[in-house]
Amino acid sequence: MSRPANPVRAITIHDVAAEAKVSKSTVSLVLQGSGLIREETARRVREAAQKLGYVYNRRAAELRNNSSRTIGVVINDLMNPFFAEVLVGLERKLVDAGYIVFMAHTSEDLRRQEQVLTTMREQNIAGFAFCPAIGTPVAVLKTIRNWGIPTVVMVRPLGSGAYDYAGSDNTLGVKLAMAHLIGRGHRQIAFLGGRRGPVFEQRLAGYRQALADAHLAFDEALVFPADPTRQGAHDCTLGMLDAHPEVTAAACYNDLVAFGALSALGERGLQAGKDFALMGFDNVLAAAHSNPPLSTVDIQPSLLGEEAAKLLLQRISAPDSAAKRYIAAPQLVLRQSD
């Protein structure tokens, strides 16, 4: 009745075949639901499989078929809820499509990233969903493509070539946030947090454009790069408050930065939305329930993940089609921090 706790060798179709007194081929066929097998035989096979506790060995089948239903996803910063949400959307879509995901976390470590990319490749994955670590050389994209593995790049662009990409309109997003702040009468507005890189540059461009549109001068001293973590943003906000008391508002690199700023403000007895205006970016779940709730730029993180999955799935089924991109259209969501 009960299976042995740790079978020395797995039950295979061979065993099932013997039990059901048919050939391996027949077993394989009924397992695949082929209509070729007479129902009575099929039943016998299924019963035998059941009885023996047979487990289908998909890896063996995939080897034989030269196929693969696994996707490698590499993420660099799961501690940022934005990426966690992207991952959730991505994973859901992928398993709904019958795939299973290898997940690796790089912590922005290029060495580790290279290692996991290689390992996944050796595992014969059907595709990559790749969110490159900061500082990833553009060349790795070419390398991956030479491997012949369908790939969608997420969030952070990687060079200017044609490749499937799911991201957001960063420039427009920050521009929207800035226009709102300017419209509210703010004139001394900081750009807070974030590490230099393609996304940073895009968002900073939005900051500059909004300033220019309003005929306001751009002041380099008002951009404060920092580790895109709560701690980094917290410290950096404190520094800004001290050095630039004239600043009354900030567009943040992302929500995480805004959360750090929120805590720094609180520490100084300042209330966001009253004493200082703050705009985030991403619209992470937590933004709706920070204290106060964060006004931000919504790019629908988990939808972004789903769209990335779609792009990848399309690429897999049509390897030679033209590169596509999904660019989330940013949407202002005004809560109480602005």
Distance CA 3, CA 53 (A): 7
Tokens of 279: 């705009």
Does 118 contact DNA by CB under 7 A?
no
Query: Binds 25, which of its own copies, DNA, none (CB < 5 to 8 A, cut-off by type)?
Result: DNA
Looking at beta carbons only, is 206 or 232 nearer to its own copies? 232
Q: Nearer Cβ to its own copies, position 212 or 288? A: 288
Looking at 3, 64, 111, 215, which residue binds DNA (CB under 7 A)? 64
Task: Specify the stretch interacting with DNA by CB under 7 A; choose among 4-12, 153-161, 170-178, 227-235.
Answer: 4-12
Extract the tokens encoding 198.
Answer: 């393609």
What is the size of the binding site for its own copies (CB under 8 A)?
A: 69
Q: Which of 44, 93, 186, 230 binds its own copies (CB under 8 A)?
A: 230
Minimum gap (Å) between residue 273 Cβ and DNA? 60
Rounded (10°) angle between helices 230-243 and 255-267? 50
Report in angstroms how near the CB of residue 128 gets to its own copies at its nearest.
14
Contact criterion met (CB below 8 Å) for 145 and 323: no
**CB 155 → DNA: shortest distance, Å?**
33
Q: Is 9 in the site for DNA (CB under 7 A)?
A: yes
Query: Using CB distances below 5 to 8 A depending on partner kind, what does residue 22 bind out of DNA, its own copies, none?
Result: DNA
**Identity of the residue, 26 or 113, whose beta carbon is nearer to DNA in the bound complex:** 26
- Which residue in 169, 171, 166 sits closest to 251, CA to CA? 171
Q: Provide the sign of the torsion angle of the four alpha carbons 191, 107, 235, 276, taken in this order.
A: positive
Q: How many CB atoms lie within 10 A of CB 5?
A: 5
Residue 318 is encoded by which pair of tokens? 């049509």
Q: Determine if 62 is a binding residue for its own copies (CB under 8 A).
A: yes
103-142 binders of its own copies (CB under 8 A): 103-105, 107, 112, 115-116, 119-124
Stretch that binds its own copies, among 62-70, 157-165, 239-247, 322-330 (CB under 8 A): 62-70
User: Taking CB under 8 A as the rule, does residue 288 contact its own copies?
Assistant: yes
Q: Least CB distance from residue 56 to DNA, whole Å? A: 5
Q: d(Cα 287, Cα 250) in Å, to the nearest integer?
A: 16
327 φ, ψ (degrees, to nearest 5): -120, 110
Residue 9 as a binder of its own copies (CB under 8 A): the answer is yes
By CB atoms closer than 10 A (0-12, 13-18, 19+), residue 304 is buried
Tokens of 241: 């408050």
- Note whether 282 and 297 are within 8 A (CB): yes
First vs last C-alpha separation in the chain? 65
Identify which of residues 42 and 87 has a Cβ nearer to DNA in the complex: 42
For tokens 């039943």, name the residue: 43
Distance CA 193, CA 225 (A): 4
Eight-class DSSP state of 136 = -
Beta-carbon neighbour count of residue 180 at 10 Å?
20
- Contact call for residues 333 and 288 (beta carbons, < 8 A): no
Residue ranges in 22-61 that form contacts with DNA under rule CB under 7 A: 22-26, 28-29, 31-32, 36-38, 40-42, 55-57, 60-61
- Hey, is 76 helix, strand or coil? coil
- Contacts to DNA by CB under 7 A: 9-10, 12-14, 21-26, 28-29, 31-32, 36-38, 40-42, 55-57, 60-61, 63-66
- Contacts to its own copies by CB under 8 A: 2-7, 9-10, 53, 55-60, 62-63, 66, 70, 78-79, 81, 84-85, 87-88, 91-92, 95, 100-105, 107, 112, 115-116, 119-124, 145-148, 230-231, 234, 259-260, 262-263, 265-267, 285-286, 288-293, 319-320
